[in-house]
Amino acid sequence: MRGGGGVPAYHPRTVPGYEESPEIRRTSCGIEVDPVYRGTDVPDRVGEPGEVPYTRGIHPGMYRSRLWTMRQYAGFGTAAETNRRFLDLLEAGQTGLSVAFDLPTQMGLDSDAPLAAGEVGKVGVAIDSLDDMRRLFQGIPLGEVSTSMTINSTAAILLLLYQLVAEEQGVPTTQLRGTVQNDILKEYVARGTYIYPPRPSMRLVTDLFAYASAEVPQWNTISISGYHIREAGATAAQELAFTIANGLAYVRAAIDSGLDVDDFAPRLSFFWNAHNDLFEEVAKFRAARRIWARLMKDVAGAREPRSWMMRFHTQTAGSTLTAQQPLNNVVRTTIQALAAVLGGTQSLHTNAYDEALGLPTEESALLALRTQQVLAHESGVTATVDPLGGSYFVEALTDAVEERATELLDRIEAMGGAVAAIEEGWMQARIEESAYDAARRQSSGEMVVVGVNRFVTDSGSVPVMDVDPDLDRKQVERLARWRESRDQAAVERALGVVRETAAGPDNLLYPMKEALAAGATVGEVSAALRDVFGQHKPSG
């Protein structure tokens, strides 16, 4: 299962006009719904919506003021094929784009690399060059749409290609809104699409922070991902602790590189998994905001309230989707999406029911989007802020999840922080233990999975999307034509500057942009960095 992600551009704490003329919301029998419900004594640990510690949400009006961004994750085959899917989703009411890239693009390999054979366009779109990025966003005004790109090792390269396409469209870079995941630490923990060793990889992350702050100020420079940590087998508390520990490592690295925390912290975002346990997931989201606000104030020394806010995207849990009785996945996804909304997400991706079998079809992708739209417009959960706030169960569970996550965070701090814990393999070992325990409980029947270990029947078959078997050859031929059309000497000179900069202290994104504009490919820029940084070889 692929993992997507991204967060919409920051929106103000209040929507203009909301306080003066709030829309009246009523139930089906005419009962007026208050904007916020609270007990007679609201404890400081809970607080008010839009106020520290943000337990009840980062905006006072939440979905009464503005709905979450419906950002369905899409990408397959060629740029032109994915472009058609994007246009269809926008026409169907999607409010933001989210790009899935194929494994060669994620690993910094061009489509004609020997290791790319058989993987081109399979789990996402193949992007080799500026020409591919142009095709991907053809007919889509980049100054008007928010775009998330799930990319880590090559995040800087893909952001620069996006910027170059926007410049060709005449869009000022100050208008570009979106996110690159850019979360390399979780790749060493849970996913594996790393290229360079951890410490030079961290340099790329902080160079991107500095570059975007100066050149693309509305861009979210990182989406710190718990999603893949949870998909690898972590518990809710581990997902919280390990992800926030990684986030704190990025903050410290940026401060150490000379950046002011309040200059970059408002552009940080998180990416969470929404799993099946409805109330635990709601508690997890509430606890996450509380922990992050405390750490940003007390540990990172941030002074601005915007720096304390945890903004996040959520995706429903791919690891819970089953190939058996796949239509059951519609119900699972709905419960998980409801947890994300009740927990206060800023954007959401709902998985398609057939993703345990293959890439989503147009029909299943549309149903996944409709799931969000039904929640938003028919369920009533957006009528009041923090609908579950004040529930004895939810508040106690929020405290318990926070306590367990904090214990893990303290353990990581004692080891020297997230990078040290990753280099020692400690985080990886804890995830493996949790994954084994879950597999054991499912195998024994202690953990029920409907249609898999209980209520098993023949579910028949569902349509599966076919990928063009000739895709590799077509993409490789397109890449060859691109290389033939460029000034090879100019490309070589530009790549030489990338290597020189990598060996020194200057920001890498400026020479990388020049190389890409000259026609260098994703694989060639990645190789230039690998020449200097080396390649990561996991121990054990």
Q: List the beta bridge partners of residue 270.
A: 224, 312
What integer is the mean pLDDT of 262-281? 94
**Residues in contact with 423: Cβ distance below 8 Å, sequence separation at least 6, in sequence order:** 198
**Cα-based angle 49, 282, 245 (whole degrees, multiple of 5):** 90
**What per-residue confidence (pLDDT) applies to 523?**
98
**Residues in contact with 342: Cβ distance below 8 Å, sequence separation at least 6, in sequence order:** 278, 282, 381, 387, 388
Other CB atoms within 10 A of residue 365 CB: 25
Would strands 312-316 and 32-33 be described as parallel, antiparallel, or unpaired?
A: unpaired
Q: Which of 85-99, 261-275, 492-506, 522-536 has the lowest mean pLDDT?
A: 85-99
**What per-residue confidence (pLDDT) applies to 362?**
87
What is d(CA 313, CA 272) in angstroms, rounded to the nearest whole number? 6
**What per-residue confidence (pLDDT) applies to 302?**
97
- Sign of the CA dihedral 165, 168, 172, 173? positive
Question: Does residue 18 surpass a pLDDT of 80?
Answer: no
Q: How confident is the model at residue 14 (pLDDT cuts 50, 70, 90)?
A: very low
The two tokens of residue 33 are 């719904």
Inter-CA distances, 447 with 91, 268, 275, 276, 443, Å: 40, 36, 14, 12, 8
Complete edge-to-edge strand list for the sheet that includes strand 146-150: 73-74, 97-100, 146-150, 177-180, 219-220
**What per-residue confidence (pLDDT) applies to 15?**
32
Mean pLDDT of the chain: 91
Q: Which long-range contacts (CB under 8 A, 24 or more apart) does 413-417 make?
A: 413/245, 417/245, 417/248, 417/249, 417/252
**Cα-based angle 271, 277, 280 (whole degrees, multiple of 5):** 70
**What per-residue confidence (pLDDT) applies to 123?**
87
Question: Does residue 110 surpass a pLDDT of 80?
Answer: yes
Largest distance between two CA atoms of the chain: 73
Q: Where are the domains positioned within the chain?
A: 70-444, 471-533
What integer is the mean pLDDT of 255-276? 94
What is d(CA 103, CA 127) in angstroms, rounded to the nearest whole number? 10
Yes or no: is domain 70-444 CATH 3.20.20.240? yes
What integer is the mean pLDDT of 459-484? 85
Question: Does residue 29 surpass a pLDDT of 50?
Answer: yes
What integer is the mean pLDDT of 320-347? 97
**What per-residue confidence (pLDDT) applies to 40?**
56
**What per-residue confidence (pLDDT) applies to 38?**
79
Question: Does residue 11 surpass a pLDDT of 60?
Answer: no
Question: Does residue 75 surpass a pLDDT of 70?
Answer: yes
**What per-residue confidence (pLDDT) applies to 535?**
95
